[in-house]
Amino acid sequence: MAKIISAQDLQIDLDGANEAGLFKWLVASFLMGKRIQGEIAARAYQVIVEDHQRDTPQKLARCTHRQLVAMLGQAHYVRYDESTASRLVALANKLNDEYAAKVTNIVAASADRQAFEKRLSEFDGIGPKTVEIFMREAAGVLFEHANRSTPSQ
């Protein structure tokens, strides 16, 4: 059985539901949610986000399809490179356009965790596996954070 790769393994800080960490974990989860080896997906994350500094939705959205395919190829993420490149740009654009480039705004727009997961699955290329991977580590910080920021009655 393959090792489960965590946010900590990728040196992604999710503490306090910080936006930078949440976006990075969303990209990593997106890449790991495909039928591809976890190590290759982790390397693709590192190439795109760390090596090429595409660490915000705005920066990722400015990538061309060709640039992303090349980055994915650099990580040997070649089985789904064309569709993944298109969907990564679509993910960044949707996050930018509909949620002001913030994962936490998806939470704010959602009544509860189930509604959040539904909204997440509306992103092109995000299916149940990607939602599962993302929520495995983000749910605690997202919904703990949301509950703390709600004023008490």
Answer whether residue 150 shows pLDDT above 80. Answer: no
Asked if the structure places residue 136 within a domain, the reply is: yes
Average pLDDT, integer, range 46-70: 96
Asked if the structure places residue 146 within a domain, the reply is: no
Asked if the structure places residue 104 within a domain, the reply is: yes
Instruction: Give the count of domains, the chain.
Output: 1
Asked if the structure places residue 150 within a domain, the reply is: no
Asked if the structure places residue 90 within a domain, the reply is: yes
pLDDT tens for each residue of 104-115: 999 999 999 999
- Give the C-alpha separation, 124 to 53, whole Å: 23
Asked if the structure places residue 123 within a domain, the reply is: yes
- Give the C-alpha separation, 21 to 107, whole Å: 15
- H or E element that contains 120: helix 113-121
Asked if the structure places residue 85 within a domain, the reply is: yes
Answer whether residue 126 shows pLDDT above 50. Answer: yes
**Res 152: pLDDT:** 38
Say which CATH number the domain at 40 has: 1.10.340.30
Asked if the structure places residue 1 within a domain, the reply is: no
Answer whether residue 38 shows pLDDT above 60. Answer: yes
- Give the C-alpha separation, 49 to 59, whole Å: 10
Domain that holds residue 112: 17-141
